Amino acid sequence: MADAQSVEDIVPLGRLADWMDAQGLGTGPVRNPQLLAGGTQNILLRFQRAEKSGAREYVLRRPPRFLRKNSNDTMRREARVLKALAGSDVPHPGLIAACESEDVLGVAFYLMEPINGFNATVGLPPLHAGAPEIRRQMGFALMDGIAALSRIDPFAAGLEGFGKLDNYLERQASRWLSQLESYKELPGWPGFKGLPAVAPIVQWLEANRPSSFQPGIIHGDYHLANVLYSPDSAVLAAIVDWELCTLGDPLLDLAWVLAGWPDETEIAAGETSVKPWAGFPTADELVHHYSVRTGRDMLALDWYKVLACFKLGAILEGSHARAFSGKTPKDIGDRLHATTVRLFTRAHRLIGL
């Protein structure tokens, strides 16, 4: 059990119980509160509350202690997405109830069903660690998750206005170039000279942009660390961490996976997010599986792969830039900078440099 005082500082349990009373969610005090590891900064609290049939378990999700400007809106958006996914074949945590007001706990929050699953990047259970064929199916299950998400009509699901679809593709290259350029305001960052050439990537993205796309829901940060697998099979128990979810082109979710998928050299060097790796499908096999499951046109996939490499690298380089002024630990900044270099180098290969 988590230390009562530390939990109380983060989630006032009495106020939570009073709010749950008003929602008809159990009776009596909140019991066995446990802070969970998960997400990057948002807080997860697992707990129980009495019901007639016995104790029911809940997971509360709220913003971090030190709020960012959009932290509460992020919670509201996450709850809206989980509500929209209810009853679908997308594996996700079931939404129980949401509190959009900040008056109850000082922040917006929501309650969801606990998930019986594991994060493969943390460690594999014996069943999965001991069977390459299980790991192969895990890779295909990763594709099944975003394939199911891509098939949902966002407007029929109640997500009208959830993202800006006008000029979506046209905005991408300039948006992430601006992100990179913003780091110049941070003292000490060496700028673009520490990176593989940026201009050719941006120019290629502008010159080769697809003329149209099929809109849908995108997770926004889809990879092996943001899914939970069933402990007794290779299927996904849930896709988690929906904070970057929006409307856009679902092919970017596919490309996001591919941007981080290890190539033969990285596999041989043991540079994989899951160990052991042997058995996982190749990137080409993932693409084929996704294509069959969705029927989406893959002709412009290289454009999305280059965009994913550029976007992810632009985001990660921010930690490197902040490390020069002590706002991020140097070892983390150096490690993420190396990843950015790898991503931009991969983009160069894709565009033929």
Which pLDDT tens digit goes with each residue over 77-136?
A: 999 999 999 999 999 999 999 999 999 999 999 999 999 999 999 999 999 999 999 999
Look at residue 1 and tell me whether its pLDDT is greater than 90. Answer: no
What is the dihedral angle through the alpha carbons of 25, 28, 32, 34, rounded to the nearest 10 degrees?
50
d(CA 204, CA 306): 9
Give the mean model confidence (pLDDT) for residues 24-40.
Answer: 84
d(CA 294, CA 344): 28
> Terminus-to-terminus CA distance in the chain, angstroms?
54
Look at residue 37 and tell me whether its pLDDT is greater than 80. Answer: no
Domain 126-351 grouped into CATH 3.40.50.2300? no
Domains of the chain by residue range: 4-112, 126-351
pTM over 0.75: yes
Using pLDDT thresholds of 50, 70 and 90, give the confidence band for residue 274: very high
The reported pLDDT for the residue numbered 9 is 86
More confident residue, 5 or 179: 179
The reported pLDDT for the residue numbered 75 is 97
CATH number belonging to domain 4-112: 3.30.200.20
The reported pLDDT for the residue numbered 300 is 96
Residues above pLDDT 90, as percent of the chain: 91
- C-beta separation of 240 from 246 below 8 A: no
